[in-house]
Amino acid sequence: MVYYSFIQTAAGKLLLLADGYFLTGVYVLNQKYFPKIQKNWSLNNDLEIFTKTAKQLNEYFIGSRYSFDIEYRFNGTNLQELVWNRLSEIEYGKTISYKELAQEISYPSAIRAVATAVGCNPFTFIVPCHRVIGSDGKLRGYASGLTLKQKLLDLESNTKNPFLQEEFTNQNIEITEDGNIFDCTEEVKITGTLNNDNF
């Protein structure tokens, strides 16, 4: 069984997925690779893993949490899981390049494949793919947009907390018959692509 819930955070509305015990996904509303809600999924706002995740994410956004203690489970290809496991080891406030990441997991000639796996990370914020940048220090892509990626890096640089100034209204979410999400109050513009060699 797949359970889901929507939560409101300083980064916007998030979709949480779980199998009942383990977290299986965290997605920003309308981000790239956002999953369709399936008819056999069950809405459950009281699942313990969801309340725990929401609490820790809120602590992260106010700047009082530097790592997550959440039980999650990957479900990807061998390369994806290799990449995601390495992402989970990048410390708060640190960054690495796509090239360095590919070298560290012994795929030095597969930088683009590694970058694609980074982009497919199903655990936004929890598995910190935002800490991967171009070898020239520039932001190269982020499934939830480069604006949010920069805010996360600013938060972790300890110079300012951009999320303390954010104001959000309750968003009106509709789920269409084919499982697509329609946000009646806000459009999320996806920016940033991995379309050059400065990984």
List, for residues 73-110, the tens digit of each pLDDT value.
Answer: 999 999 999 999 999 999 999 999 999 999 999 999 99
Is residue 60 in some structural domain? yes
d(C-alpha 191, C-alpha 142), whole Å: 8
Q: Are residues 83 and 150 both part of a single domain?
A: yes
Is residue 131 in some structural domain? yes
Average pLDDT over residues 146-157: 95
Q: What angle do CA 104, 88, 17 make, to 5 degrees?
A: 135
Are 75 and 62 a contacting pair, CB within 8 Å?
A: no
Q: Is the dihedral of CA 175, 169, 58, 76 positive or negative?
A: positive
* pLDDT score at 180: 54
Is residue 196 in some structural domain? no
Are 24 and 122 a contacting pair, CB within 8 Å?
A: yes
Is residue 96 in some structural domain? yes
d(C-alpha 4, C-alpha 24), whole Å: 10
CA–CA distance from 64 to each of 86, 93, 148 (Å)? 24, 13, 19
Is residue 28 in some structural domain? yes
The domain of 91 spans: 78-160
Question: The CATH number of the domain where 134 resides is what?
Answer: 1.10.10.10
How many structural domains are present in the chain? 2
- pLDDT, one tens digit per residue, over 170-192 is 445 455 555 555 454 443 333 33
Which residues carry out catalysis? Answer: 129
166 SS3 class = coil
Higher-confidence position of 174 and 154: 154
Q: Are residues 11 and 48 both part of a single domain?
A: yes
- pLDDT, one tens digit per residue, over 65-74 is 999 999 999 9
Question: The CATH number of the domain where 175 resides is what?
Answer: 3.30.160.70
Q: Are residues 147 and 124 both part of a single domain?
A: yes
pTM: 0.83
Q: Are residues 146 and 173 both part of a single domain?
A: no
